[in-house]
Amino acid sequence: MGIPLQTFRGHTNLTELQYVEEKLKPVSLQHLQKFYVDTIPKNPTGDFVFPTVTNVQRTKLQCTSDNQTPLFYQEVSPSRSGDKFQKKKAIIGISFMLTLKWENTDDSIEHKFVVTLSRERIPYLYSHTFSLPSKQCHAASESNLRQEDCPTESSASLQGNCQSLDTSSSVPCQDEVPNKYTSSLVTVVTYNIWNFQTLGPEEMYYARIKRLGKLVSESQADVIAFQEVRFDFSKLINGPSQIDHLREYLPLYQFVFQPAMSFPKDFVGRIEEGLAIFSRYPIKSHDYILLSRISADDEDRHQRICLHAEIETPRIKNLHVFVTHLALSQTARERSVVEIWNFMEKYPGPALLMGDLNAEPHEKSIRKQPFLTFRFLMGEVEINGTRTEGLRDGWLLFHKEPRPNAPGKYQMNEEKDEGLTFSTLDGDLRKRIDYIFIREESGINTQSVGLLDDNGRQSVAASDHLGVKVVLNSENG
């Protein structure tokens, strides 16, 4: 059950709208001035026109033990008469959705943001999408808010609730998009970025994220789906938000970040991990589903999601991008892919399913059938009466299935097959668990498939995974 929007405690001298105007609006404008200054209208004298703030919604991120009942903790305050104990709700943060809108200008612009506040009231951007409506384009529709449960979990099997902020708007005409791209090619990448981990001291993360950022930037990908993206309040050296780190290397991309799981530390510290989509092209809408789980299963304890974004490219008007990161449990994966396919069927047209599936093509399920998760996605078998249709494994369109790096598969010192994606932390890659599945439509075909790899291994690896890269070609438009 979603937590209701409530009065923002801790700022009683400001109304909620005043708080947004004075604290959150400047943060959003700073982002635009740094990366999208050309989209900010100017008056006849050349000065920037200030926007109005609309569609403000806010959500408390509150831990629960059962997705309904708020979790409390005791705060101890020393005093002369002895320690005082106060019972408090476990609130790990607050998120705001807001729209910056310029009215009465020749080119009305709307920028949509999700800004999250840490317990220390420090703001961080979680998403930014925008549209440029004009006389030749459809007027922007009102943004839609949908409240959903968002269970999260700590190492003590705590769960937290949050509400999803799902915004939707009309897309701009392509000839008005800043830094436009008119090629019929669309390059997409999936990449598990290994959150904040390193093989050594925490300080090594700075060098690793620089390698990773350089790699994804130089890939010239139009759409990038990231997994294991974290916000971690304890990472003081480099800052807690990996979204901030990524957008420094992808400055002209719209982006959405959706946490999937949370690890509250002492009930108040905020650590959460999830999925993100970055796009050069307008993100028309985005939403997600929670994947079911069995918390009693140690390999299925973490909450998983599937994040979806509808993206308009110059030639593919509605490209549906789905990204997920599946559980370690085979039974959970088999359950999840059915739920994801049912989600995908709600959105007809060309689509991509990308991510770290934690599944090898040759694995056997508890049903003693080989390749069940993989074969289901390929449409070769049913699971519980459901069968996919039209999905193709991008890698196999151009390459053979690589042999896993397992005993008996290779001769001594034999070069390993191309296509393995995990783990760069070992001397050799061992298995293929990262995928891009493609649902093609008329006029769209896959031009090439490869790996995103800077050849860094072990302590100099950009991540513990390699990325997968697909180039689509569209003759439409």
pLDDT band at 38 (very low <50, low <70, confident <90, very high): confident
φ and ψ at residue 258, rounded to 5 degrees: -125, 110
Helix axes of 242-249 and 204-218: crossing angle, nearest 10 degrees: 40
With bands split at pLDDT 50, 70 and 90, how would you rate the model's confidence at 63? confident
CATH class of the domain at 185-474: alpha beta
Residue 89 pLDDT class (50, 70, 90 cuts): confident
For residue 41, name the pLDDT band (cuts at 50, 70, 90): confident
Average of pLDDT values for 59-83?
76
| Residue 162 scores a pLDDT above 50 | no
When comparing pLDDT for 194 and 1, which is higher?
A: 194
Handedness of CA 380, 383, 388, 393 (dihedral sign): negative
Task: Tell me the domain boundaries of the chain.
Answer: 16-78+87-131, 185-474
Question: Rounded to whole angstroms, what are the CA distances from 336 to 143, 300, 359, 371, 474?
Answer: 29, 11, 12, 15, 30
Read off the pLDDT band of 164 (50, 70, 90). Answer: very low
What DSSP designation does 20 have?
I
DSSP H or E stretch at residue 442: none
Top pLDDT among 206 and 179 is at 206
315-363 residue pLDDT tens:
888 999 999 999 999 999 999 999 999 999 999 999 999 999 999 997 6
User: What is the per-residue pLDDT for 120?
Assistant: 81
Can you name the residues that pair with 355 across neighbouring β-strands? 324, 435
Checking if the pLDDT of 369 tops 50, the result is yes
pLDDT digits (tens, 9 = 90+) for 250-278: 999 999 999 998 886 666 678 999 999 99
Nearest to 370 by CA among 394, 404, 326, 407: 404
pLDDT at 370: 58
Q: How many CB atoms lie within 10 A of CB 83?
A: 8
What average pLDDT score do residues 443-463 get?
A: 95
Per-residue CA distances from 288 to 188, 318, 426 (Å): 19, 17, 34
Q: Which helix (H) or strand (E) holds 339?
A: helix 330-344
With bands split at pLDDT 50, 70 and 90, how would you rate the model's confidence at 238?
A: confident
What is the model's pLDDT at position 66? 61
SS3 state of residue 213: helix
